[in-house]
Structure 1
Amino acid sequence: VFRMVHQHFLGTDLTWEEIDRLTHAIPGKGTWTFVGLTEFVKKGIKIIHFEPIDYKRLYGEGISYLKQVVGTDTANYYIKKSNFISVIPYIPEYLKFVKNETRKATTEEIIAFLKQEHLVGVEVNSDILNYTPGFNLHYILLYDFDGTHLILHDPGLPPIKSRKITTGDFEKCFNFPGSNGGITVFSKKTIT
């Protein structure tokens, strides 16, 4: 998603190594995106990040606060399968640069952003997205709405370009039990 956003707005591609450096990725683990968002704002991309996590509290209270907000299962997923612990020190810089709304976003808001020609990064349960049982968090990039389907780039695996999903199916993989309802709106123009 970060490569697609960078290429779309800045006209240049990033290598996987550059993305890993920007986001402080850990090989074999998922990546908390807020560190990369900070770097993208510094490059001139306008961003609003919606997530029901109060990053000020997360910085001060850590794991106990995370469990209160997203539940034990999702928190444990983040702790064990992502770079969460290692990026906590970067929260103050994120709060300084990135516009953040501490709440869940709605599908209706996402559609409105798409109609304004913004790109929207969304965390979903990829198992639900792919109609299989299980729980795996995955980050996709929505770029259009045709009145019935959200149109997205799914980095995979395997990658699926211009994938279409009904709003009903999207709602299931976006608002699953324990979902944080987090989205990131990317734009070169002011986001309203």
Structure 2
Amino acid sequence: MNRENKSKFIVIEGLEGAGKSSAISLVGDFIEKHTGLVPVCTREPGGTPLAERMRDLIKIADETDPLCDEAECLLLYAARAQLVANVIKPALNRGAWVLGDRHNLSSLAYQGGGRGLMPLVQVLSKATLGDFKPDLTLYLDIDPAQGLQRAAKRGELDRIEKQALDFFERARATFLSFAKEDDTIAVIDAGQTMAEVHKDILALLQSQDW
């Protein structure tokens, strides 16, 4: 996707309990101060009326009709396609900055690595996104056991958050593998205190050639 303006698409990624919500707030404030504009904030799955309905199908467990792994993956990409086509690309084209709570890297990690569906994920990614990707991804890296302990303190876990520990360990390994190969993905140590994490995020943002 070629853009003549200086709009950017920044995404926050991480396992459960990594601190994405506070990081998103921090990055949103940075964008507003840097550009003078409030960023368009999105979340995945979701972000459009239809995509939010798909989110409910993915997140809520139905014991009478369990969602199979392949259907989960297809729903995620259907929701993402809606969001990119109807929100993200139009916002970037009009010069807005977009701040995303998850994007394609999550599917590569969770469905590709965690579920073992990497061939399907790569086919769907190419078919729905082509070469479209964030300008910068901040991956908040945390030990899965520590992250799940944090997540449990927030309240009841959803269907994804209830997966076994080894699922999240595979997802984490996949996140780190892609980060190692892609210089637009920055790894932030999310096992630190919130103040330390935020300090690292701000240092990274300030070092960018916007």
Using CA pairs below 8 Å that are at least 6 residues apart, which structure has the higher relative contact order? 2
TM-score, scaled relative to structure 2:
0.27
